[in-house]
Amino acid sequence: MQRWIISVLRRTIVSERGLLNLTTTRGLMTTPPKCAKKMPDRPKPPPEKEFTEVFLHGSGPGGQKINKTSSAVQLKHAASGIVLKVQATRSRTQNRKLARQMLADRLEDLEKGDQSRSAIKTAVKQKKKSSATKKTRRKYRKLEEEKLAAQGETGKGKEG
Amino acid sequence: MPRLPHSLLLRARKISPLLPLVLRGTRTWDSAVNELRWLREHVEQTTTTRDSLLSPHKRLRILCERRAKGEPLQYILGSQPFGELDIICEPGVLIPRPETEAYTEYLAQFINQHHVVFKTMTGASLNPSTKSTSNPLRIVDLCSGTGCIPLLLHSLLSNTFTALQIQGWDISQTAVSLARRNFRENVKRGYLNASPRISFEVVDIFSNLTSDQRASLKCDILISNPPYISNESFNHETTRSVRNWEPKLALVPNISCSYSVLPQDVFYARLVDFHFNLGQSKILLMEIGDDEQAIRVVKILMDNLKRSTGSDLQNNSIEIWRDWPGQASDQGEKQELVIEEVSVPVRGSGALRAVVSMRKSFPLNC
Ligand SMILES: C[S@@+](CC[C@H](N)C(=O)[O-])C[C@H]1O[C@@H](n2cnc3c(N)ncnc32)[C@H](O)[C@@H]1O
């Protein structure tokens, strides 16, 4: 029973990290604190004037007639051509914050290439992945989840 | 209700055997994928409930089966995020909608931007040290349901206004109890400042109001998302999940009264009456259901303005807000409507969602 709970808890952390990329990595067994320290600071989102924001919602009546759960947010950054969509959480407020952070990360990627924070992070992750061995079960779960999330990304964003 | 295509269900089954179930509830691919993820996260996070003897997979399947029958996700998970708050949702009380969240945030932003004007008008204090002697900014939300509007307004205004007094009224005891619980829970979790002055009361707004209640309506801001759906649209335009699971009392007005308006508009007649003839509110904000209703409500406002002697069209301005009032309007979306030869500005993008009447004592551009 105990072990079962722990494994569930850990899985939650893993999947949330995959989705949100925001949870601090400190305190997790799989990530020694020293690599958290190496990480450069998170880049700041650009000023609000530089991008446009759209809340994705389907056609249809809206208001009281439907109880939709869609909270998707789309940002378009004209200067770079970046378009991104965030529907990670049920909270639009939260998704708006996540979207701004993602935009900041991508802009930094463009600017700094493999010296950007996210590039360094991916490199660290890759290294860890190759040393991982007996995590197949968990990995399978995660893959399934990523597949699901990816399916969601390619969808039309329509809401019924 | 059209059947889901077999190919779509097959495609869903390949991803997860539970996805077709959720898809039956949501009817759209994107929401199904999202909702299955949220349901899974919910199961993983709640390990202490009474059914924790069941395996997580079994528990997840049970939740997905409920969703397949059309039960709203918010009732299954027990909550709906609303701004920075988390609103508890239970059968018997309407689930807060994203459009309501959007105009509530926009209104708060507007009040914050014009806080100096509001404070001089109300005598509310700019200085925290004189808190006890100053007049608070007073807001009343009629038909308050879960309490989402008063609670979100408080969370967004309390940094600018040291003194706030917010009331929510609803005819339903179930709703008022839930609103009070939402108040306590959000304070407990630190989403709201300690000891805010918010109260929820059972009031039928069509009853004869007590003198205290009348005094309360002489507030600064009156806001309401009243029942506004006609019987006809309830049967044909609401989704299955709304029709079968949410309370009809919250959706369809069931009032016989002396106002000469369509049955689905009676609450607006009452609200406009309160605004002009009883209270002295600076702002009246009313959610509406569609374009035709927006126009009818603007006309109700104009009729009242013409009739009442003290306030005339010159001293009041009427606006219509779309679903996302803070966003730039899309191509082809009108930015004004001419109603009875008066030009009414329309803000934002999306469908028409709220009618707002303001006293012209402050500059109107945010
Ligand atoms: C559309 S719901 C709005 C709930 C909440 N304000 C929101 O936005 O989620 C309408 C509410 O009006 C309440 N109601 C219906 N008739 C009423 C009346 N005569 N007086 C006061 N409240 C009433 C219902 O109980 C319901 O909670």
Per-residue pLDDT tens for B3-60?
A: 889 999 999 999 999 999 999 999 999 999 999 999 999 999 887 656 567 889 999 9
Q: Least CB-CB distance to A94: which of B28, B33, B81?
A: B81
Closest-CA residue, ligand 1 atom 18, reads B204
pLDDT of res. A33: 46
pLDDT of res. B313: 61
pLDDT of res. B184: 96
Q: Name the CA radius of gyration of chain A, rounded.
A: 18
The residue-averaged pLDDT of B54-80 equals 96
The residue-averaged pLDDT of B234-244 equals 96
In this structure, the strands spanning B137-142 and B85-88 are unpaired
- Contacts of residue A70, defined as CB under 8 A and 6 or more positions apart, other chains included, come to A56, A57, A58, A87, A157, A159, B30, B31, B34, B98
Task: Classify the C-alpha dihedral B49-B40-B6-A155 as positive or negative.
Answer: positive
Residues of chain B with CATH 3.40.50.150: 98-359
Mean pLDDT score of chain B: 90
Locate the chain A residue with the closest alpha carbon to B82. Answer: A91
pLDDT of res. B361: 64
Residue B259: band (very low, low, confident or very high) from pLDDT cuts 50, 70, 90: confident
Planar angle of CA B24, A60, B25, nearest 5 degrees: 10
Closest-CA residue to A57 (of B330, B125, B310, B275):
B330
Contacts B72 to A, Cβ<8 Å: 67
Mutation for testing the B interface, residue in A9, A48, A65 having most B CBs under 10 Å: A65
pLDDT of res. A14: 32
pLDDT of res. B11: 94
pLDDT of res. A30: 39
pLDDT of res. B19: 97
Contacts A48 to B, Cβ<8 Å: none
pLDDT of res. B307: 80
Answer for the pair B38, B67: CB distance below 8 angstroms, yes or no: no
Mutation for testing the B interface, residue in A7, A56, A69, A151 having most B CBs under 10 Å: A69
Q: Give the C-alpha separation, B23 to B356, whole Å.
A: 38
Count Cβ atoms below 10 Å from residue B202 Cβ, excluding itself: 13
**Looking at CA atoms only, how far is residue A24 from chain B in angstroms?**
18
Closest-CA residue, ligand 1 atom 16, reads B171
**Looking at CA atoms only, how far is residue A134 from chain B in angstroms?**
22
Measuring from each residue's beta carbon to the nearest atom of ligand 1, which residues come in under 6 Å?
A 64; B 94, 96, 100, 143-146, 148-149, 169-172, 175, 203-206, 225-227, 249-250
Which sequence spans correspond to the domains of chain A? Answer: 1-35, 48-115, 123-153
B297 C-alpha to center of ligand 1: Å?
18
**Looking at CA atoms only, how far is residue A113 from chain B in angstroms?**
31
B252 C-alpha to center of ligand 1: Å?
10
pLDDT of res. A31: 40
Residue A126, φ and ψ in degrees, nearest 5 = -55, -45
pLDDT of res. B119: 78
Q: Could you tell me which residue, B264 or A30, shows the higher pLDDT? A: B264
B78 C-alpha to center of ligand 1: Å?
19
What are the distances in angstroms from CA B121 to CA B114, B135, B156, B316? 11, 10, 20, 15
CATH class of the domain whose range is B98-359: alpha beta
Residue B312: band (very low, low, confident or very high) from pLDDT cuts 50, 70, 90: low
* Residue B244 touches chain A, beta carbons under 8 Å: no
Predicted TM-score (pTM) of the model is 0.84
Answer for the pair B300, B276: CB distance below 8 angstroms, yes or no: no
Contacts B250 to A, Cβ<8 Å: 64
Do B98 and A72 count as a contact with CB atoms less than 8 A apart? no
Per-residue pLDDT of chain A (160 residues; tens, 9 = 90+): 333 333 333 333 333 333 343 333 333 333 444 444 567 788 899 999 999 999 987 667 899 999 988 899 999 999 999 999 999 999 999 999 999 999 999 999 888 877 777 777 777 777 666 655 445 555 555 555 555 554 444 333 333 3
CA atoms within 13 A on the CB side of B2: 6
Answer for the pair A40, A117: CB distance below 8 angstroms, yes or no: yes
**Looking at CA atoms only, how far is residue B352 from chain A in angstroms?**
10
Q: Could you tell me which residue, B157 or B257, shows the higher pLDDT? A: B157
The residue-averaged pLDDT of B151-180 equals 96
Q: What percent of chain B clears pLDDT 70, i.e. is strictly above it?
A: 90
Spatial strand order in the sheet of A51-55: A51-55, A73-77, A82-86
- Between residues 56 and 115 of chain A, which touch chain B (CB distance below 8 Å)? 57-58, 61-72, 87, 89-94
pLDDT of res. A4: 37
pLDDT of res. A19: 39
Ligand 1 pocket, mutate which of B87, B100, B171, B271 (most atoms under 8 A from CB): B171
Do A148 and B328 count as a contact with CB atoms less than 8 A apart? no
Q: Give yes or no for residue B333 having a pLDDT over 60.
A: yes
Per-residue pLDDT tens for B115-157?
A: 888 777 765 545 544 444 468 999 999 999 999 999 999 999 9
Do B81 and A93 count as a contact with CB atoms less than 8 A apart? yes
Burial class (CB in 10 A: 0-12, 13-18, 19+), B177: middle
- Between residues 319 and 338 of chain B, which touch chain A (CB distance below 8 Å)? 323-324, 327-328
Q: Least CB-CB distance to B33: which of A55, A65, A152?
A: A152
Closest-CA residue, ligand 1 atom 2, reads B250
Locate the chain B residue with the closest alpha carbon to A160. Answer: B28
CATH class of the domain whose range is A48-115: alpha beta
Task: Classify the C-alpha dihedral B196-B201-B207-B208 as positive or negative.
Answer: negative
Q: Give yes or no for residue B95 having a pLDDT over 60.
A: yes
Do B290 and A145 count as a contact with CB atoms less than 8 A apart? no
Q: How large is the ipTM?
A: 0.91
Locate the chain B residue with the closest alpha carbon to A69. Answer: B31
Q: What percent of chain B clears pLDDT 90, i.e. is strictly above it?
A: 77
pLDDT of res. A10: 34
